[in-house]
Structure 1
Amino acid sequence: MVKLLAILIALCLGQAIVAERIVNCYWGTWANYRSGNGKFDVSNIDPWLCTHLSYSFFGIKDNGEIQSLDTWLDYDLGFINQAVGLKQQNSNLKVLAVVGGWNEGSTKYSSMAGDWNKRQNFINSALNLLRNNGFDGLDLDWEYPNQRGGNWDDRANFVTLLREIKEAFAPYGYELGIAVGAGQALASTSYEISNIAQHVSFINVMTYDFAMASDGKTGFNAPQWAVEDAINYWLSQGAPANKLVLGVGMYGRSFQLTDASQNWPGAPCRGVGAAGAYSGDGGYLGYNEICLNNWYTVFDNDNAAPYAYSGDQWVSFDNVLSVQWKMDFALNKNLAGAMVWSLETDDYRGHCGEAYPLLKAINMKLRWT
């Protein structure tokens, strides 16, 4: 009986440890404006599939203060209140405000981080944003320090910014996350990795976008070897495993083949693939678009990732199997968890099967075993 009790306690403790792993769900709120079955709002979110909901994006004013990029959606439609209101369903859910993103770029971030007054404006406005709206923390998505209009001083200034935010957040228990470029070439240019790791709650590593049509050939968006190399680099530079969150792209990068008969990985391409019906951007297809296409699909074992093609259209993406591979690696490295970019491009309506197949595959590995 004592032995049985000990086993049960151990099992419960093991489940508790697994349940603490992060599943950070980024949400591009602009998907509200998509048409038809691409439209996505708060009602489409299952708050039990995420430990963190990252509300994207807020911007930065010239004086360093944080600003809403869509006040009508954020406040008039009440998206922020509705997002924070999901905590009434799942009291353990953390809702974060995300500042930055690709379109925000680097210039304003760089100017703010390098100026004491602007940093204080940023921090004070962050505190006001979190307090006034019920957010649980902040996520900084600076793409990227020392690039895209930034400068070398960004590396040290980013550390200073994070340290000052951490100190300001401490009395309130707010979380501080960052989203970072993944590969060694990008990361070594932009970050003092061991220094920034000291000041953040977790680090979302954007382990995707490893191939683009601008390369002139088809390639995998997130091949397993590139994901592993990136995470191993961050670990080797002093980022603790228990702060690293592995990124999963719920979308594919698409290409227009130069010759439709040459449809293999590495085949020549003449540009981006055609825009999807929902996402509307060339070179980019949500998983919810890809799974409906019924293209010929191949799972490439060398890259642990699928690709699909039809005529001169070619796309590399993640499916349930490749996501499982990534989660096995995250578990093997004892990482903090996984994040997804982004909720509104999973098959959230379940048109190809069950709803949220990729997000559920992550949870099955990290939290529900």
Structure 2
Amino acid sequence: MTTMAVQNLVPLLVLIILRVFVKSSESVSPDNFSPTFPRRFLPYQGVRAAYWPSSIDFPASSIDTRYFTHIYYAFLHPEPDTYKLSVTEFDQTNIPEFINGLRYKHPQVKTLFSIGGGGNEPTVFATMAKNQRTRGVFINSTIQVARQYGFDGIDLDWEFPANKQDMANLALLYREWYEALVLDARIHRKPRLLLTSAVYYASRMLFLGDEPRSYPAEAIRKYLDWVSPMCFDYHGSWDNFTGVNAALYDPKSNISTYYGIGSWIQAGVPPEKLVMGLPLYGRTWELRDPNVHGIGAPAVGVGPGNEGTMNYKDVIEFNQKNNAKVVYDVVSVSYYSYVGDSWITYDDVWSIQKKVQFARSRALRGYFFWAVDKDKDWTISRQASNAWGH
């Protein structure tokens, strides 16, 4: 176990002791047991963002922009042969509707398009990033698309660089991309396009693949406007036990947002360049024994929903319809519910408030949601925005 892991466990062990004395569902403030993080607030508005999957039946014009500063169009993909950005006939119709649907909203939001996502083949990115020529082809095509459609920025979601060489090439890609954006802005006398990147929850990848590897923190610090750790999917259908989807704290492991954000800061990425990910969905399991229903309970498969996932709005409806037992877990700062052999982990108003307050008090740049259509009547989006101070 690393020194950092030991240090992170100390305040969490204190929390476990405190939990014995907590008889209500009220949360213990993270600031009571997070001495390694300075408490300071940002002087600027910050980022309150969300991804808008282009395939959903939810028009961008329906987004309540009071709760957001940036909306990502997700996803575009590079062509596997040329590495130019592919804009399909679907995108050619959908992107103008997305841009126009948000352009005249009040308040206005910034728009970015995201490249990649979980459904993209990671080897395409790896091959593209190997040499300067293909990186240049890719970069130039992203700028052309952004300018053609009127986006304010570009986001890379490479899930995930597979080895140390991929990480080194990613650093080169960030640098050359930023330099190209600066040149583009100078030539066209326009504001520079934003450059952001969605990344693993921690700066060092320990659990995906055989080779431990770290993100290029120095290149991120120099060339990105911000980086977005995906602080969710900590547990899911790949586990044969119930677990928390987006634990703020985990006294048993480093799979937590507390650890992940701390690792990014320790790696040298300034807090003001970190935008913390939050899920608007839960993970579900089928319990082996309905009478054993805590966190870590044995499971035999996925529960209700779509292949073990359930949107927040559907979780609330499921709980009400089935009279499910709802539990707030003070240690992980999260909710779970169960009824019969169904078990769901998710975030609700209180846990989202505490997580946003965590991001705010640690002077992070902001937060983002995956994804904007999964909320219920803007309940979570509103609470997060209020907790941020807007």
Q: CA RMSD in A?
A: 1.9
The reply on whether 1:273 has 2:300 as its aligned counterpart is: no
C-alpha deviations, 1:170-215, integer Å up to 9, x for none?
1421000000001365276251223323210011110111112222
The counterpart of 2:247, out of the listed 223, 228, 234, is 223
Distance 1:249 1:117 in 2: 37
State whether residues 252 and 284 of structure 1, in contact with CA within 8 Å, keep that contact through their aligned partners in structure 2. yes
The amino acid across from 2:353 in the alignment is: Q
The reply on whether 1:182 has 2:195 as its aligned counterpart is: no
Distance 2:360 2:152 in 1: 26
Runs (5+) with no aligned partner, structure 2:
1-40, 186-191, 207-211, 250-255
The reply on whether 1:331 has 2:364 as its aligned counterpart is: no
Distance 2:46 2:142 in 1: 26
State whether residues 105 and 144 of structure 1, in contact with CA within 8 Å, keep that contact through their aligned partners in structure 2. no
Distance 1:42 1:256 in 2: 35
Offset, 1:80: 1.3
The amino acid across from 1:164 in the alignment is: E
Matches within 5 A, 1:1-369: 17-18=43-44, 20-32=45-57, 40-62=58-80, 63-68=82-87, 71-72=89-90, 74-76=91-93, 79-85=94-100, 86-90=102-106, 92-146=108-162, 151-170=163-182, 171-172=184-185, 173-183=192-202, 186=205, 189-225=213-249, 226-275=256-305, 281-293=306-318, 294=320, 295-347=324-376, 355-368=377-390
Distance 1:75 1:59 in 2: 14
Tell me the SS of whatever aligns to 2:205: helix
State whether residues 246 and 334 of structure 2, in contact with CA within 8 Å, keep that contact through their aligned partners in structure 1. yes
The amino acid across from 2:372 in the alignment is: L
State whether residues 21 and 367 of structure 1, in contact with CA within 8 Å, keep that contact through their aligned partners in structure 2. no
Distance 1:90 1:114 in 2: 43
The amino acid across from 1:311 in the alignment is: G
Distance 2:325 2:232 in 1: 22
TM-score normalised per structure 1: 0.85
State whether residues 27 and 54 of structure 1, in contact with CA within 8 Å, keep that contact through their aligned partners in structure 2. yes
State whether residues 213 and 269 of structure 1, in contact with CA within 8 Å, keep that contact through their aligned partners in structure 2. no
Offset, 1:105: 3.3
Tell me the SS of whatever aligns to 2:381: helix
Structure 1 residue aligned with 2:33: none
Distance 1:143 1:299 in 2: 31
Offset, 1:44: 2.3
Offset, 1:235: 0.4
Over 3 Å counting, the alpha-carbon distance change for 1:91 and 1:84 in structure 2 is farther
Runs (5+) with no aligned partner, structure 1:
1-14, 33-39, 276-280, 348-354
Offset, 1:82: 2.4
Tell me the SS of whatever aligns to 1:169: helix
Over 3 Å counting, the alpha-carbon distance change for 1:269 and 1:141 in structure 2 is same
State whether residues 29 and 41 of structure 1, in contact with CA within 8 Å, keep that contact through their aligned partners in structure 2. no
Distance 1:270 1:109 in 2: 35
Percent of aligned pairs with the same amino acid: 30
The amino acid across from 1:224 in the alignment is: L
State whether residues 274 and 365 of structure 2, in contact with CA within 8 Å, keep that contact through their aligned partners in structure 1. yes
Tell me the SS of whatever aligns to 2:112: strand
TM-score normalised per structure 2: 0.80
Distance 1:254 1:335 in 2: 30
State whether residues 56 and 99 of structure 1, in contact with CA within 8 Å, keep that contact through their aligned partners in structure 2. yes
Over 3 Å counting, the alpha-carbon distance change for 1:102 and 1:360 in structure 2 is same
Over 3 Å counting, the alpha-carbon distance change for 1:158 and 1:31 in structure 2 is same
Distance 1:129 1:103 in 2: 21
Offset, 1:327: 1.0
Distance 1:17 1:192 in 2: 27
C-alpha deviations, 1:256-295, integer Å up to 9, x for none?
11112211110001112232xxxxx211000011010122
Distance 2:338 2:48 in 1: 31
State whether residues 145 and 190 of structure 1, in contact with CA within 8 Å, keep that contact through their aligned partners in structure 2. no
Over 3 Å counting, the alpha-carbon distance change for 1:190 and 1:107 in structure 2 is farther
The amino acid across from 1:169 in the alignment is: L
Distance 1:71 1:310 in 2: 45
Offset, 1:92: 4.3
Distance 1:304 1:16 in 2: 23
Distance 1:91 1:306 in 2: 32
The amino acid across from 1:81 in the alignment is: P
